Chains A and B, each alone.
Chain A
Amino acid sequence: MSAIREVKFLRELKHQNVIELLDVFSSKTNLNLVLEFLDTDLELVIKDRSLVFLPADIKSWMAMTFRGLEFCHRNFILHRDLKPNNLLIASDGQLKIADFGLARDFADPGYKMTCQVITRWYRPPELLWGCRYYSTAVDIWSVGCIFAELMLRTPYLPGETDMDQLKTIFRALGTPTEEDWPGHTKLHDYVPVGQFPKTPLRELFTAASADCLNLLSKCLIYDPKRRIGAKDALNHPYFFALPYPSHPSKLPKPAKKETGPPLEEVDGNVEMVGSGPAVRANPPNKLKRRRSSEDFGNRPVARRLDFSK
């Protein structure tokens, strides 16, 4: 099913910031996807402590993410699993959105969708509360989390369970009021999770510019209807202000060879590192494209997927 989804959407999407499906073929009982070869992903870049990010670098990655996402949304496709690990990076520095195994087209008004999507740390509160009618705003929340993670160099909202995820979100951004988010208490799985005060983003993101925090806060607006859209995000002053985004080829990249496991986290988050985010709807044996293709040099690599389901 997820293979079929991936093929369906990638056959239609052709954009600089979306992974390219070069070919599909079947042999015996396997479906093989030939995907563009991409060196690394944003998660590895974030975790590589030897790299220093300039504000312009972050702006460049964000611009590429929003462009790719805007293209998906323009084609009526929700990605539903955005996270640094699914933002792959090509040898020329271009960022590409990958892994459309959970993607789907927009549902018609009144048709339910599953809320068990998006890796927990990047999942918006409406899905955690069981909202079955949603739209592009869910992807934008994920991008907001990625945006914050690029600045913090550690996952912004690492909840340990679905319930803890809500708490983590509210601890960071304050518990939403009826005014912030009309009707949220009527969501299907709504449970109150305690009152947390709002802290200005400025307190955590001390080095960020005002434009930057403004865009971040608009990605993390509780009310999905008021959350910024991908196109408006691209038109946000942040992308027009100095410093201009770095040229993709100038962006920091991990050294060519992977040397052992990534460095241990040191931000008081050590207990999170072992377990990692829970990916409920994803198969646990999801192939890591970048690793499995390491030996193949710079050419497309076929990926085998089970087609029988």
Chain B
Amino acid sequence: MTATPAPQSEPVASTSSQQSIYEASTQYRHWRFSQEELANMRSSLNLDAVSAIRHAFENDSPGSSTSVAFLNAEEEHLLVKLYVGKISQLCGHFRFPEEVEATAVTYLKRFYLKNTVMDWHPKNVMLTALFLATKTTNNPISLESYASHIPRTAPSDVLDLEFLVAQSLGFDFAVWHPHRSLWGIWLDVQTIPDVSMDDLQKAHEAATTHVRAARLTDAEFVYTPSQIALACFSLASPTLASTWARAKFPSLPHPPVLDVLEPIKAIILRNGSPPDVEAVREVDRRLRLCKNPEKIVGSNAYNKKLQEKEKKAEEKRKRKAEAARIAMEEGDPFGSELAKKAAAELDDDDDDD
């Protein structure tokens, strides 16, 4: 961290040139997990949600939660996966570029690493995630025309959740995607002598299908976009994939990257197909019965929660007014140190709703 740009042999030297660009990205720093971590996150998120919702049911009318069959983590995941597929359909309808589709899918999947479908139904979150993705990838569309193309959707349905989604994403809007890496591989291979362009073209098309399948899986949380892209390319044509790797690392007889591919391929082949619609329908049917009542507009629990919130806000206003009154009475219009401090403390918890 030397501040001086003075004599030095490497003028580009900076605090960040030591690591690769990808390692500096929020994707690498915040959204990479092992498969076990993912499973643990989902199951503990699910357990917390179930106990919170059970509590809300009991508050509403005691004893009412015993008959409810809550969703488990796998069922939640299944439902999310269905809506990942819906994003692709919608993108086809709107003719959005692949970048939008891939980004929206990532947003949706990331959202449900922090939230439960029992609080927020993926149908709505999916619409918001997609709309947000059009903005963050520089493919803006007006909210009105977006909402008008989707049946039974008002602009407010999309916008209401936007904060929640952005916040759940930790405002990490930039996402790196395998389809970009695949494009790079495709360009690279064209420069290798003695590669048949026909074979390459076929392999690229097949690999693109695999990249799309990979979007339905957790691969992006575990592996880098380029690893996933190469795995997809290798699924399409193992020979071309290793030709590329050898051309890329000419000094290594067996480029180590080839060893990461097998587990990725396995994930894609195992989880890369859309979920069985009947199974999901069953999950969705049960979800209707175990939704968090506090999140359903108009329900008793929702109104109660709203009242509580208003009461709290009212109390806070009173406390603030009181602090201001005390300050005024003490003669100093700007308040004494103590009153100021009390007011400051009141201000602090203002912002997490």
Taking CB as reference atom, which chain B residue is nearest A113? B138
Cβ of A190 within 8 Å of any chain B Cβ, yes or no, is: no
B interface size (C-beta, 8 A): 32
Q: Residues of B contacting A1 with CB < 8 Å?
A: 135, 140
The answer to whether B4 touches A71, judged by C-beta atoms less than 8 angstroms apart, is no
Minimum C-beta distance from A22 to chain B (A): 12
Cβ of A164 within 8 Å of any chain B Cβ, yes or no, is: no
Cβ of B63 within 8 Å of any chain A Cβ, yes or no, is: no
Cβ of A60 within 8 Å of any chain B Cβ, yes or no, is: yes
Cβ of A4 within 8 Å of any chain B Cβ, yes or no, is: yes
Which of B5, B136, B173 is the most central at the interface, judged by chain A CB atoms within 10 Å of its CB? B5
The answer to whether B25 touches A247, judged by C-beta atoms less than 8 angstroms apart, is no
A interface size (C-beta, 8 A): 45
Report if A234-B12 is in contact (Cβ < 8 Å); known contacts: A26-B163, A248-B3. yes
> Which of B11, B25, B173 sits near A239, CB closer than 8 Å?
B11
Render B1-35 as a binary contact track against A, CB cut-off 8 A, 1 for contact: 10111110001101110000100111000000000
The answer to whether B5 touches A15, judged by C-beta atoms less than 8 angstroms apart, is no
Cβ of A39 within 8 Å of any chain B Cβ, yes or no, is: no
The answer to whether B12 touches A231, judged by C-beta atoms less than 8 angstroms apart, is yes
> Which of A7, A67, A307 sits near B162, CB closer than 8 Å?
A307
> Which of B15, B26, B174 sits near A16, CB closer than 8 Å?
B15
What separation, in Å, do the CA atoms of A9 and B353 have in the docked complex?
25
The answer to whether B26 touches A11, judged by C-beta atoms less than 8 angstroms apart, is yes
Q: Residues of A contacting B194 with CB < 8 Å?
A: none
What separation, in Å, do the CA atoms of A239 and B7 have in the docked complex?
8
Cβ of B148 within 8 Å of any chain A Cβ, yes or no, is: no
What separation, in Å, do the CA atoms of A59 and B166 have in the docked complex?
41
The answer to whether A92 touches B14, judged by C-beta atoms less than 8 angstroms apart, is no
The answer to whether B166 touches A26, judged by C-beta atoms less than 8 angstroms apart, is yes
The answer to whether A16 touches B140, judged by C-beta atoms less than 8 angstroms apart, is no
Cβ of B159 within 8 Å of any chain A Cβ, yes or no, is: yes
Minimum C-beta distance from A279 to chain B (A): 20
Minimum C-beta distance from B114 to chain A (A): 15
Q: Residues of B contacting A32 with CB < 8 Å?
A: 351
Report if A60-B135 is in contact (Cβ < 8 Å); known contacts: A25-B351, A27-B350. no
The answer to whether B1 touches A245, judged by C-beta atoms less than 8 angstroms apart, is no
Report if A75-B173 is in contact (Cβ < 8 Å); known contacts: A4-B135, A247-B3. no
The answer to whether B136 touches A235, judged by C-beta atoms less than 8 angstroms apart, is no
What separation, in Å, do the CA atoms of A104 and B174 have in the docked complex?
11
Q: Which A residues from 38 to 73 make CB contacts under 8 A with B?
A: 59-60, 63-64, 67, 70-71
The answer to whether B12 touches A4, judged by C-beta atoms less than 8 angstroms apart, is no
Taking CB as reference atom, which chain B residue is nearest A240? B7
Given contacts A8-B174, A11-B171, A244-B6, 14 further A-B contacts (CB under 8 A): A4-B135, A4-B136, A4-B173, A7-B171, A11-B173, A14-B15, A14-B24, A16-B3, A25-B351, A26-B166, A28-B353, A32-B351, A74-B21, A92-B3
Selected A-B contacts with CB under 8 Å, 10 pairs: A8-B173, A11-B171, A14-B16, A26-B167, A27-B350, A60-B5, A94-B3, A245-B6, A307-B163, A308-B159
Nearest 9 CB-CB pairs, A to B? Answer: A63-B5, A27-B351, A8-B173, A234-B11, A244-B6, A24-B171, A245-B5, A26-B163, A247-B4
